[in-house]
Structures are given as structure tokens and as C-alpha cells.
């Protein structure tokens, strides 16, 4: 596509930058990492308030094909907003799953009633969502889900377990892929269900503490939890789920790369300030390669942005950014030498880590979650190259 920033886009950039400068103050600046540390609970509360702040001024849902109190922006202007947001180091979003994944899915596959019920609340930053896909025995192989749902009046009762569920503690709702046809196998008999999270005794969320010391992911247990309806009709869950994954691995990767750019800049700054690159040509080469690969990823994302006719594009993007980000985590530790093994302060049972140490530990999972590298290569082999399917 022809991708250039015109006068209207530059005006949009100035508006976005000015809004962020005016609103990233006080507690919001602290949550953005610019105003000192805070507890995890405090940051979570501030990030929830930040979602409502964005919603009040229409900054949620810029790319929606519908007006629900959100600003309307072109694809290029959405990129502009993402760039300014990342460069301002604004707080991490807790509403992006509803905004970028569930909302476009409802527009494409949902009923008018579902759109009217959920889209305005998402646009206001008042309704947060999480994604109920992966299970202990069905991660990258999503068609193996075992969570079941039985018809109950106009809705369903859901029973099963989901895992690696981001933002489940903050979410009001979860979209769940469940098996609604008894005895069905693989991608047949699945439905895409909408489940309220506030169901004591029927929905149990358990945080998963990672080796980085944080708990971004959770286990979610459903025990006869009520689902208020299905998107795409009963049995249409696989088609809807695949449409949503294309969104997850498509436009959002460009936003992700803008954050990667800031992380790389901090690693390079550390390498220069510490003198690590002075006498190590191999390290210099690795840093240059990281920069070049990031530029390649950006132009590849821009090339495929808005396109839907390339079945391998999402898998290629995942392979590129997963490995790249993991190598960046390794570099973040390498440039610091032996000092990377020590914490930022006195030893304590909580074992506090600094930003680059957390980056290294967290990125170990980048080639696994969201569809492992092995699964992505199978998709490319079968759907793009036409090779025989793997025996299952």
C-alpha cells in the first residue's frame, strides 16, 4: 500500500501529542513509568482510570467501522496514534483486548444487539475483556479445546479451564471458545461465547506468578458459569476465532514494534554508557542487526497492513517478532556484563528485578505464547507452501 503521512495525518499527530502531554500528569505519569515506582495494586487502579480518561475523549476505537462515541481515524492515523502513545510511554493498556480484538469481531460477526450492548461500553473504557482460548492441553493447538458449554435457555453454562489468560483479574467479561456439540472433535462443534466474569463460585481466577516476579497471566476456572450468548451462532466458533486471531497477529504487531523500538533504544544506551561496545565488535554487530531487523519488521507490517488475502502473513509476523524480542532480552543482559546478575537494591525475599532483567526473563516465553514457533511454521508449510498436513 502507499504509506505516507499527509498534512491531515501530521495535524492528527500534533493533536495526539498535545493530548498526551496534557493528560500524562500525576498518577498517570507514575503509571507510565515516568513518576517513580508504585505497588502493583496502585498501578492497576491507575491504569483502569486511564482507560476511562481515554474513553472520555474518544481515543478508544479509532479504527472501528462504527460510531460509538469514538473518534474516527484512517489506518495511517491509527499508526500515528500508536507511535505517539508509545513514544510518550503512556500507561500499559488494560482495555486493548476489548478494543482491538473483541470489538472488530463483534462488528464482523456479532448481532446488532451484541454490538449495541458492548461497543459503547468498550469505547468509554468502562468494560474490559479477556480472552478465553488456551487450555492446559490446548495451547498452540487451539482445536483441541475441552471446555464445554451446554444450552441453558437463551444462553449456555460453561465448564472447564483456561490458562495464560491476560488481564483476567481486571476484566469484566471473557470471550470463551467452548465445545457446544457433545462428541465433536477438532474445529467442529465449537462456539464463541460471551461470559461475565463477576460470577462468584462459578468463575475462579488464579494468578500465575512467573519467573519475572510478575503475574500478567492467570488460570480461569469455569464451573457452570453463565454465558449470555454466542457470536456467529452455535457451532460457528472456529470461524469467528480464526477471524479474531488474524486481528491479534496483524495490526497489533505494528503497535508492538513501536514499543520494541523504545526498548532497543534503552539497551543501546546502556551498551554505550557502560562501554560494552568499545572493544566488542561482535556485540556491536548484534546491536546493529537488531536495529536492521526491527526496521524490516516495520516495513513488512506496513506492507501487509489492512490486507486479508495473505494466509501466511500473521504467522510470519509472529515468527519475526517473537524471536527478535527474545534476542533483545538476551542483549539487555549481555551489555551489562556481570552487573546484570545483581538486583537494583539490597536482597529481599521479594527479589526485585529491574526493567532489563524483567525484559530478559519475560521474553523467554515470546516464542511460545500466542502460537509457538513450531505451530507457525506448520501453518506456513500447509497453507502457503501447500505441503502435506502434519499427521495428528
> Given its phi and psi angles, is residue 100 left (phi above 0), alpha (psi -120 to 50 degrees) or beta?
alpha
Closest Cα to residue 218, out of 210, 206, 200?
206
Cell triple for residue 54?
A: 481515554
Q: Are strands 217-227 and 148-152 parallel, antiparallel or unpaired?
A: unpaired
Measure the CA–CA gap between 318 and 338, rounded to whole angstroms: 32
Distance CA 301, CA 295 (A): 10
Which residue in the list 83, 135, 248, 263 is annotated as catalytic?
A: 248
How many other C-beta atoms are found inside a 10 Å radius of the C-beta of residue 87? 14
β-pairing verdict for 229-231 and 190-196: antiparallel
Is 248 part of the annotated catalytic residue set?
yes
CA atoms within 13 A on the CB side of 188: 5
As a whole number of angstroms, the distance between CA 144 and CA 272 comes to 48
Other CB atoms within 10 Å distance of the CB of residue 137: 11
Cβ–Cβ under 8 Å, residues 40 and 107: no
Active site residues: 248
Amino acid at each position: 500500500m502507499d504509506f505516507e503521512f499527509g498534512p491531515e495525518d501530521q495535524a492528527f499527530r500534533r493533536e495526539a501529542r498535545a493530548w498526551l502531554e496534557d493528560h500524562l500528569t500525576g498518577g498517570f505519569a507514575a503509571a507510565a513509568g515516568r513518576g517513580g515506582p508504585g505497588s502493583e495494586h496502585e498501578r492497576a487502579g491507575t491504569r483502569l482510570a486511564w482507560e476511562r480518561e481515554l474513553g472520555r475523549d474518544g481515543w478508544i476505537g479509532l479504527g472501528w467501522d462504527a460510531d460509538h462515541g469514538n473518534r474516527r481515524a484512517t489506518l495511517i492515523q491509527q499508526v500515528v496514534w500508536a507511535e505517539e502513545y508509545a513514544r510518550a510511554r503512556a500507561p500499559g493498556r488494560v482495555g486493548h483486548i476489548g478494543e482491538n480484538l473483541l470489538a472488530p469481531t463483534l462488528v464482523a460477526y456479532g448481532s446488532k444487539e451484541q454490538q449495541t450492548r458492548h461497543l459503547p461500553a468498550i469505547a468509554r473504557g468502562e468494560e474490559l475483556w479477556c480472552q478465553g482460548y488456551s487450555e492446559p492441553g490446548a495451547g498452540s493447538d487451539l482445536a483441541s479445546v475441552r471446555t464445554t458449554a451446554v444450552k441453558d435457555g437463551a444462553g449456555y453454562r460453561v465448564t472447564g479451564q483456561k490458562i495464560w489468560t491476560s488481564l483476567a483479574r481486571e476484566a469484566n467479561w471473557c470471550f470463551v471458545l467452548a465445545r457446544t456439540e457433545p462428541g465433536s472433535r477438532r474445529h467442529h462443534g465449537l462456539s464463541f461465547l460471551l461470559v461475565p466474569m463477576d460470577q462468584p463460585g462459578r468463575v475462579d481466577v488464579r494468578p500465575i506468578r512467573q519467573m519475572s516476579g510478575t503475574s500478567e497471566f492467570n488460570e480461569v476456572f469455569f464451573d457452570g458459569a453463565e454465558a449470555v450468548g454466542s457470536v456467529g451462532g452455535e457451532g460457528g466458533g472456529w470461524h469467528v476465532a480464526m477471524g479474531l486471531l488474524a486481528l491479534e497477529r496483524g495490526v497489533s504487531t505494528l503497535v508492538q514494534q513501536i514499543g520494541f523500538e523504545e526498548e532497543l533504544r534503552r539497551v543501546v544506551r546502556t551498551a554505550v554508557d557502560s562501554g560494552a561496545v568499545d572493544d566488542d565488535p561482535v556485540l556491536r554487530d548484534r546491536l546493529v542487526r537488531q536495529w536492521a531487523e526491527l526496521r524490516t519488521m516495520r516495513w513488512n507490517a506496513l506492507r501487509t497492513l489492512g490486507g486479508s488475502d495473505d494466509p501466511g502473513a500473521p504467522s510470519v509476523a509472529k515468527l519475526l517478532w517473537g524471536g527478535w524480542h527474545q534476542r533483545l532480552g538476551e542483549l539487555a543482559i549481555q551489555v551489562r556484563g556481570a552487573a546484570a546478575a545483581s538486583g537494583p537494591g539490597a536482597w529481599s525475599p521479594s527479589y526485585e528485578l529491574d526493567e532489563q532483567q524483567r525484559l530478559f526473563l519475560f521474553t523467554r516465553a515470546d516464542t511460545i505464547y500466542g502460537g509457538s514457533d513450531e505451530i507457525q511454521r506448520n501453518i506456513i508449510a500447509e497453507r502457503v507452501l501447500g505441503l502435506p498436513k502434519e499427521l495428528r
